[in-house]
């Protein structure tokens, strides 16, 4: 059962300049501190997936999602709290659907979580609601484009390169800095790119991505994932009619994991007396 901390938030952690007090730090206090980043409200997707709000925090581990490997690494590190961006049971909704609740594997994973002794908190909406979407900020930083930001939109950022790069050069740059073996592309990668649109996670659908070309003049759009019959088909038609424009689909995890790496660093600064570690997760999908 997921715990909705937005309905039972207790007394806020005592705040001091440069961080929070370390005496008997609890899961609830960590969650309250995170909520401040998103405007002092906990998002609908943000839930305590395992453990209790009063659990003492001996250490914090951060991962993109609660894979078996990430949970084991977190427990081995001595952490008592694992903070993840995506849920533990294969759905954006935190409470599993009926078809999953009756699956034997679902119960086995619940038992493994219980045996790990970890409290698991999903921090999703809060990070996207920061003044600057922290997940997007992490990707921008990982790509070395902090000084190239031209504009932040509610769901996207626009990058203005100081010198043009072809789409192929952008792909090479992205793969190298993110450590990726492959990405998926569509459109014309031969043309020079100066303005790049950036969308993390599941924001690659036509409603969000296509206006970056039409309204904001993007030459290329990088995103995590989205419906394949929307933006990819748009840039295919664009290329076949002699237009410019291309997309690079990184993958959901690949686009958002840098943001969780940045979250780790922010937590280290916020709780200097508590060990905070990052548990990288490999993409679930492989290309053969």
Q: Which residues contact 30 (CB under 8 A, 6 or more apart)?
A: 57, 60, 81, 83, 121, 271
Distance of alpha carbon 204 from its chain centroid, rounded? 14
165 - beta bridge partners?
193
Q: Which residues contact 281 (CB under 8 A, 6 or more apart)?
A: 63, 64, 65, 67, 69, 70, 253, 257
Q: Binding residue per annotation — 252?
A: yes
The answer to whether residues 255 and 156 touch, using CB atoms and an 8 Å cutoff, is no
Phi, psi of 55 (to 5 degrees): -60, 130
CA angle centred on 150, ends 168 and 189, rounded to 5°: 15
Q: Binding residue per annotation — 85?
A: yes
Please state the residue numbers annotated as binding site. Answer: 85, 252, 256
Please state the residue numbers annotated as binding site for a divalent metal cation. Answer: 85, 252, 256
């Amino acid at each position: 059962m997921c715990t909705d901390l937005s309905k039972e938030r207790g007394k806020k952690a005592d705040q001091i300049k440069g961080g929070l007090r370390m005496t008997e730090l609890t899961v609830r206090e960590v969650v309250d501190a995170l909520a401040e980043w998103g405007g002092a409200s906990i998002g609908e997707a943000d839930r305590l997936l395992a453990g209790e709000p009063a659990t003492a925090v001996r250490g914090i581990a951060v991962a993109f999602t609660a894979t078996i490997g990430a949970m084991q690494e977190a427990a081995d590190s001595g952490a008592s709290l694992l903070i993840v961006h995506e849920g533990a049971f294969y759905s954006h909704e935190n409470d599993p659907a009926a078809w999953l609740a009756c699956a034997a594997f679902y119960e086995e994973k619940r038992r493994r979580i219980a045996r790990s002794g970890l409290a698991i908190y999903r921090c999703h909406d809060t990070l996207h609601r920061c003044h600057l979407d922290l997940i997007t900020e992490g990707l921008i930083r990982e790509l070395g484009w902090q000084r190239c930001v031209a504009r932040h939109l509610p769901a996207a950022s626009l990058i203005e390169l100081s010198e043009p790069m072809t789409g192929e050069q952008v792909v090479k740059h992205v793969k190298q800095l993110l450590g990726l073996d492959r990405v998926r592309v569509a459109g014309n990668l031969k043309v020079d790119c100066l303005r790049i649109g950036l969308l993390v996670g599941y924001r690659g659908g036509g409603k969000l991505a296509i206006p970056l070309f039409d309204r904001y003049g993007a030459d290329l759009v990088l995103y995590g994932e989205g419906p394949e019959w929307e933006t990819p088909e748009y840039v295919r038609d664009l290329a076949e009619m002699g237009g410019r424009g291309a997309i690079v689909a990184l993958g959901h995890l690949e686009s958002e994991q840098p943001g969780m790496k940045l979250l780790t660093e922010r937590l280290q600064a916020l709780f200097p007396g508590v060990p905070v570690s990052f548990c990288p997760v490999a993409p679930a999908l492989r290309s053969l």
